[in-house]
Structure 1
Amino acid sequence: MNSLQELYAALEFDCIVEKIKGYAASPLGSELVEKLLPLSSKEDVEIVLTQVSEMRALLNFDDPFPIDGIYDIREAIAQASHEGSMLPVKTLVEVTSTLAASRQVKHYLKARTDKYPQLCKLVPSLHNFRLIERAIDNAIDRTTSEIRDDATAELKAIRSRLRHAREKLRQQLMSIVEQYQNFLQEPIVTLREGRMVVPLKEEFKGRVPGLILGHSSSGATLFVEPMEVLEHNNHIRELEIEEQHEIERILRKLTAQIREQQVEIEESIRALAYVDLIYAKARFAQELGAQQPRLDEHQLRIVQGKHPLLLLKSSDSGKVVPLDLEMGKD
């Protein structure tokens, strides 16, 4: 352990970092908090202090800050960079949520340039991806993470045919259930290997002509696909394959749109992470009731200072003994 590491350990700097980490709104911000180290440049310190001070004012006195919905989509964007790649639905939902956060934070800060000049210097690195957002939202229902029926006209037509085919098959099978109900464990239609079957009692094996697709764990029930619905089940399977191919085409198209703006998206991710870092620091400072220090390169003066970790551990800040300290005064 070198002298700086010993100093950080003595100051319990890692404990402070861990506390700040808990205030981050996203994994991206949390990761930046973990990498925090004290700054040595007065200019850098002044910039950071001003950023945190502006964020505190924003949180205390302004409209709610739109920093929710940020995911770590870096790996997804890297995957999307490959020609012909296809991001899954859930990942695309996370991507559009994060891109929306970039747009919303940009819009929020841009409208308040005079109030938060330091924070607004981050605006050029935050981009608007409204076209990608709309494309994803038009294709995917965010609440269910499912491809919408009307994502494309082709998908809508395929799913309509599927619904009609499944209903026709269900009615056909219910007729078979009624015909053979004395041989069945239950008068129901169920699924095995994606195909509709009836639950035949094992002792009546062969009474319902068809293919055995499985059996219950006890072996008392055989799951039979009646021969008379075999062709209809095959037709449904063909439609399901068509549906899957159309879904994959949609997902590849959406992924290609992301690939086209990879550079801007990656820049926005970095900017959102840094905004979240400032946000975490500001929330931590609020929790402590911390005051912004005035910087002096030649003198250190603490008046009624309290150890932040002791403040966090104590239910009554009045019980934490304050400290006065002066160093470097001529």
Structure 2
Amino acid sequence: MDNAFSKAIKTLEFEKVLEDLKELASASITTEYIDKIEISTDFDEVEKRLKETAEALKLINFKGEPRLFGIVDIKNIIRRVEIGGALTAKALLEVSDFLRVSRGLKTYIKKDSINREEIEINYMDKLIENLFTNKSLEDEINSKIISENEIADDASRELSRIRRSISSKKDSIKNKLNSILNTHSDFLQESIVTMREGRYVVPVKIENKARVRGLVHDVSGSGQTAYIEPMAVVEANNELRELYSKENAEIDKILKELSEGVAESAEEIISNQEILIEVDFIFAKANLAIKYHATMPRLNRYKKINLVKAYHPFLDRETAVPIDINLGYDFSSLIITGPNTGGKTVSIKTVGLLTLMAQFGLLIPAEESSEIAVFEKIFADIGDEQSIEQSLSTFSSHMVNIVYILKNVNKNSLVLFDELGAGTDPTEGAALARAIMDFMLQREIRCISTTHYNQLKIYALTTQGVANASMEFDVDTLSPTYRLLIGVPGKSNAFEISRRLGLPNEIIEESKKLLSSSSIEFEDVLQSIDKDRTKIREYREELEKEKRDLEIKNKKLESRIKNLENQKEKILEKSRDEARRLLLNARENVDIILSEIGEARDNISSENSKKIQDAQDLLRESLKKSSKDSDLEIKKSHNPIKNIKIGDRVRTSLGNEATVLELPDNKGNVLVQSGIMKMKMPKDSLTKVDTQESTTKNNTRKILKNKTTNVKSEIDIRGKNFEDAKDIIDKYLDDAYLSGLKSVRIIHGKGTGVLRQKLRDYMRSVNIVKSFKDAEYNQGGDGVSVVTLK
């Protein structure tokens, strides 16, 4: 890394930012990777880094954080299987976790799980897309290995068989030993079975060890107990040891087979490591943005900086005052003045640190409208540089840094000076500071300097390309506001502060006499500017408040207008649908009426026939006009007619049936007739109607028409038995319901009341019957049932 960046990183405390970033990484291998990342000076690379961080931040906001577990240094594991070695259970589980996190990331970012209209993903999508996954290998490892110390019984058939044999053999040995415990309890220290050197033994009192035939494997520390393997179980213990050996051999075989599976995908797995580290690094950057309340700045190639409401990341956001600062637009150098502890140093540190953050690929704690450039070098001479080891004064230490900067600076550098020229004679210091600022100005180097010198304030006022800025100070409270004001030189305030602290007026006035007239005039000008600036700020704040209020009101109005437009469209659509329905019903009714008039015209006088003809013509004209005036939308049919012939029955997109009169013209329009109406309709809006279906509908309509005309409002079933009356009532109620009658009378007579009761019991099960009751006394009483239909 360039030494200029190294010094700036230390001076501007960028290392603290990196420590915060490392804490947010999921894997230790990622923290090592962060130490290797350098601050970039390539515009395209910086832009890429910022965009991928912004994408990760969007993903976290929309989908939550991905599960970034299992990211480890897999290289040594893969190297072992590539040379034919077998992996331990722990290493295989690490491979499984490594594959699982890769698969999880691909699921996390897959297209159908993200609303691409709300969030655009390009960099992260391409990065994660390259991850290798192997779910079958992942599942095989997880199914066979329970933990780093335990292999599943069903990892293989042979292992399952061996473990069943081990269990059986253990039971056999324990049973024999329990029998010995029961028969030799007097010789034993305790009636328990224990193990020594992997073999089952019993604890025998040392004085009785000769009475128990067997092999002594151990003696207690006190010398009172001998742990003896009775001869009755020696052979069984040998067999058990052999089974354990077979178990270990089978486990080694299983691990070897799993390791071979890993070896088959070794190249792909190892390629995942770099991708996973990069993904973890990017999401760590996104989480740092959340911690710092950071946003993505706009980048430019023109060495321009414009920070809007920018915060130093290590200041408390609740109490810190954000700064607005720009450089490289109307001026290339900025001179900041103001009182000590007023925030000058923090301001230039904020500019330098946020620039380093952006060039590293981190979002910055400032408004989204902020703009930042990419610099080749960043130099910072900030703070108390006094060096005891080198016997250098504060001034000398600063000058060593400044000499280094002047030797290495170029046109694409950002330079930050804190208290330029301080620590020596004020006159000489001011002269040196001005000469250094001239050096920067002539080379168009972006430079920000803090100072107390009035000479530099005047220099900024009188030199093109240099601007003043000041840290505001509240004289009433004798405290800084930490607000940076561009274009305004700082006022000394020494006399005013002294007066408010109680220094006698005569001393203050005497002090003023000792100042040169030009200095007094300059302070008066600054005081006037300060007053004007205060008024302007108050006006601006008031205007901004009004602007915000107006924007809120405009948003509310826009929302209401949008809602009204939506309601309007819904109402219009509903009205159109209702109009279509009414028009189609009217056409059908007119069709029937005109047909009936035509049939009846033959039986009336010629004079009345002429009047009827005139009425028919008038009705047809009205119907045609209503069709032209109606706003009916002709839509394309889902299943348009293909082969069309004159005389075909079709259904239009308006829902009515029609007959084809002419074949399609050169525009694809077909002349059809629906009832008395003739109209041209697009061919693709017509659907062929099945002839049988059309005939059935016409017959049904005639039947319904006849039923409506002939059904009476009452029926007499007196003298019928219930079975005969039931069939008659069924047909009658159906006809009445279809004809639209709401209420009918059934005359059944009084008699014994049996027919009445059975009919009423039956009508309770008829779906179209809503209710029934006896007729009024003077209209038949309980000899008549009044039935209300649904």
**TM-score between both structures, scaled by the size of structure 1:** 0.91
Structure 2 match to 1:135? 140
Structure 2 match to 1:117? 122
Structure 1 match to 2:32? 31
- Matching residue's letter, 1:133: E
Farther-moved stretch of structure 1 (295-304 vs 44-53) = 295-304
Map residues 138-157 of structure 1 onto 2, 5 A cutoff.
138-142=143-147, 145-157=149-161
Map residues 3-22 of structure 1 onto 2, 5 A cutoff.
3-22=4-23
Instruction: State whether structure 2 residue 214 is matched by structure 1 residue 210.
Output: yes
Shift of 1:36: 2.8
Structure 2 match to 1:243? 247
> Is the 1:93–1:145 contact (alpha carbons within 8 Å) kept by the matching residues of 2?
no
- Matching residue's letter, 2:184: Y
Map residues 296-307 of structure 1 onto 2, 5 A cutoff.
296-297=300-301, 298-307=303-312
- Matching residue's letter, 2:322: P
Farther-moved stretch of structure 1 (225-234 vs 4-13) = 4-13
Secondary structure of the 1:320 match is: coil
Secondary structure of the 1:295 match is: strand
Aligned residues: 323
State the Cα deviation string for residues 80-104 of structure 1 (Å, max 9, x = none): 2111x11111111111011111112
- Matching residue's letter, 2:43: K
Structure 2 match to 1:82? 83
State the Cα deviation string for residues 141-163 of structure 1 (Å, max 9, x = none): 25x75211111111111111111
Structure 2 match to 1:99? 99
> Is the 1:198–1:223 contact (alpha carbons within 8 Å) kept by the matching residues of 2?
yes
> Is the 1:213–1:224 contact (alpha carbons within 8 Å) kept by the matching residues of 2?
yes
Structure 1: gaps spanning 5 or more residues: none
Secondary structure of the 1:39 match is: coil
- Matching residue's letter, 2:289: A
Shift of 1:265: 0.2
Map residues 216-255 of structure 1 onto 2, 5 A cutoff.
216-255=220-259
> Is the 1:113–1:120 contact (alpha carbons within 8 Å) kept by the matching residues of 2?
no
Cα gap change, 1:46 to 1:177, in 2 (>3 Å): same
Q: Which has the larger radius of gyration?
A: 2
Structure 1 match to 2:62? 61
- Matching residue's letter, 2:312: H
- Matching residue's letter, 1:151: A
Q: Distance in 1 between matches of 2:165 and 2:115?
A: 54
Secondary structure of the 1:319 match is: coil
Residue identity over aligned pairs, in percent, reads 36
Shift of 1:185: 2.6
Q: Distance in 1 between matches of 2:213 and 2:223?
A: 19
Instruction: State whether structure 2 residue 298 is matched by structure 1 residue 294.
Output: yes
Shift of 1:301: 2.1
> Is the 1:149–1:159 contact (alpha carbons within 8 Å) kept by the matching residues of 2?
yes
Q: Distance in 2 between matches of 1:27 and 1:71?
A: 8
Shift of 1:328: 2.3
Q: Distance in 1 between matches of 2:275 and 2:224?
A: 61
Cα gap change, 1:219 to 1:15, in 2 (>3 Å): farther
Structure 1 match to 2:539? none
Shift of 1:279: 1.0
Cα gap change, 1:95 to 1:217, in 2 (>3 Å): farther
Structure 2: gaps spanning 5 or more residues: 331-790
> Is the 2:103–2:133 contact (alpha carbons within 8 Å) kept by the matching residues of 1?
yes
> Is the 1:302–1:325 contact (alpha carbons within 8 Å) kept by the matching residues of 2?
yes
Secondary structure of the 1:121 match is: helix
Shift of 1:113: 9.2
Shift of 1:54: 1.2
- Matching residue's letter, 1:130: K
Secondary structure of the 1:198 match is: strand
> Is the 1:106–1:127 contact (alpha carbons within 8 Å) kept by the matching residues of 2?
no
Structure 1 match to 2:322? 322
Secondary structure of the 1:318 match is: coil
Shift of 1:15: 1.6
Q: Distance in 1 between matches of 2:326 and 2:123?
A: 31
- Aligned with residue 265 of structure 1, among 262, 265, 269: 269
Q: Distance in 1 between matches of 2:58 and 2:189?
A: 68
Cα gap change, 1:328 to 1:217, in 2 (>3 Å): farther
> Is the 1:56–1:283 contact (alpha carbons within 8 Å) kept by the matching residues of 2?
yes
- Aligned with residue 165 of structure 2, among 161, 167, 174: 161
Map residues 185-196 of structure 1 onto 2, 5 A cutoff.
185-196=189-200
- Matching residue's letter, 2:60: L
**TM-score between both structures, scaled by the size of structure 2:** 0.39
Q: Distance in 1 between matches of 2:95 and 2:126?
A: 24
> Is the 2:162–2:246 contact (alpha carbons within 8 Å) kept by the matching residues of 1?
yes
Shift of 1:140: 1.3
Cα gap change, 1:232 to 1:323, in 2 (>3 Å): same
Q: Distance in 2 between matches of 1:235 and 1:113?
A: 64
Q: Distance in 2 between matches of 1:307 and 1:191?
A: 67
Farther-moved stretch of structure 1 (234-243 vs 42-51) = 42-51
Secondary structure of the 1:66 match is: coil
Q: Distance in 1 between matches of 2:222 and 2:102?
A: 55
Which structure dedicates a bigger proportion of its chain to helix?
Answer: 1
Structure 2 match to 1:256? 260
> Is the 1:21–1:34 contact (alpha carbons within 8 Å) kept by the matching residues of 2?
no
Cα gap change, 1:299 to 1:223, in 2 (>3 Å): same
Q: Distance in 1 between matches of 2:149 and 2:72?
A: 15
Q: Distance in 2 between matches of 1:282 and 1:305?
A: 18
- Matching residue's letter, 1:277: F
Cα gap change, 1:170 to 1:4, in 2 (>3 Å): same
Secondary structure of the 1:67 match is: coil
Shift of 1:306: 1.6
Instruction: State whether structure 2 residue 278 is matched by structure 1 residue 274.
Output: yes
Structure 1 match to 2:425? none
Cα gap change, 1:247 to 1:98, in 2 (>3 Å): same
Secondary structure of the 2:218 match is: strand
Farther-moved stretch of structure 1 (111-120 vs 283-292) = 111-120
Farther-moved stretch of structure 1 (258-267 vs 71-80) = 71-80
Secondary structure of the 1:223 match is: strand
- Matching residue's letter, 2:121: Y
State the Cα deviation string for residues 280-320 of structure 1 (Å, max 9, x = none): 11111101111111112321222222222x24xx4xx2223
RMSD: 1.9
> Is the 2:74–2:270 contact (alpha carbons within 8 Å) kept by the matching residues of 1?
no
Cα gap change, 1:102 to 1:139, in 2 (>3 Å): same
> Is the 1:125–1:267 contact (alpha carbons within 8 Å) kept by the matching residues of 2?
no
- Matching residue's letter, 1:90: K
Shift of 1:63: 5.0
Q: Distance in 1 between matches of 2:223 and 2:304?
A: 84
